[in-house]
Each structure stands twice: as C-alpha cells, then as structure tokens.
Amino acid sequence: MPNTYTQIYLHIIFAVKNRHGLIRSTWKEDLYRYMTGIVQNQGHKLLAINGMPDHVHIFLGLNPNQSISNLLQDLKGDSSRWINTQQLVTGRFEWQAGYGAFSYSHSQIDKVVKYIINQEEHHRQKTFLEEYTTFLQKFNVSYDERYLFKPLEE
C-alpha cells in the first residue's frame, strides 16, 4: 500500500479449550517459535510472546492488510494443527473460541513486553480469569460473564 503508514500495537490473549493446562514447558518454546513464524509470515511484527500452560499472550505490530479476526483464525488454526501433527498432547488440542485484543501506544511498548515476559510472576498473584477481567475493565470493554473463558481444568 503506497503512502499508507500505520502504528497499531495489539496485545492479544487467548486460551486453550476449556483452559486445560496443556502447554508444557518441554515444547512451549517450539510452539512460540512456530506462532512467531505465522505472525511474521502474515507481515506483522512480533514484539513479545509468552504464556502459561492454559493461555498465551502475544504483543505485535499489526499489518493493516490483515484483519485481527483473520490473523487469529490463522494463528489458532495453524498452531492447533501443528500441535496435533507433532502429537504433543494426548487427544486433540484446540484453542478456546474467542480472544482479547487490546491496543497500546508506542510509548507503552516496553511496559507491555515486560508484562508478557514476566507471565509466571504475574500468575503467582493473580489467576488468568482475574487477569483477563482486569484487562476488560481497564479498557472499558463491556462483557457478559457467561462468555468469558471457561474455568481452569487441569
């Protein structure tokens, strides 16, 4: 797109179906590298990726040629297929429907990157549902509790 300039930074959060803690430390870095490739192949700039056994946080600079929903469809679909093809879990791996996407300004990049990198530390103090509802409230996103991510199942 000639003469099109954007600066769109998104923090995206999504969970494993039924919030099962399936993402294991033995292969999570491989998953994150695979997901990084998906993001970069679509022309987005990955700034940070990390998560917990039941969910993932991604911070990226969005390429306006692809909608957020199409990016998430590609990201979740392709990474699920990769996990299943690699037989990294018993049974079938799926991501839970839905996601959160929150925008930030350029001046907040370092703060968001540090937040994502330090996920393990954050979750010693706060559950995923507490964290997620905090984001929704902070960004004034109306939500129906019936449609929040399901409670954690180990």
| Residue 13 token pair | 């959060």
Q: What are the pLDDT digits (tens) for 25-34?
A: 999 999 999 9
DSSP state of 146: G
Q: Which residues, including other chains, have CB under 8 Å from residue 100's CB and lie 6 or more apart?
A: 11, 12, 13, 14, 132, 135, 136, 141
Confirm if 103 and 21 have CB atoms less than 8 A apart.
no
Q: What are the pLDDT digits (tens) for 95-153?
A: 999 999 999 999 999 999 999 999 988 888 888 888 999 999 999 999 888 777 766 55
- Domain 9-147 carries which CATH code? 3.30.70.1290
Q: In terms of pTM, does the model score above 0.85?
A: yes
Domain regions of the chain by residue span: 9-147
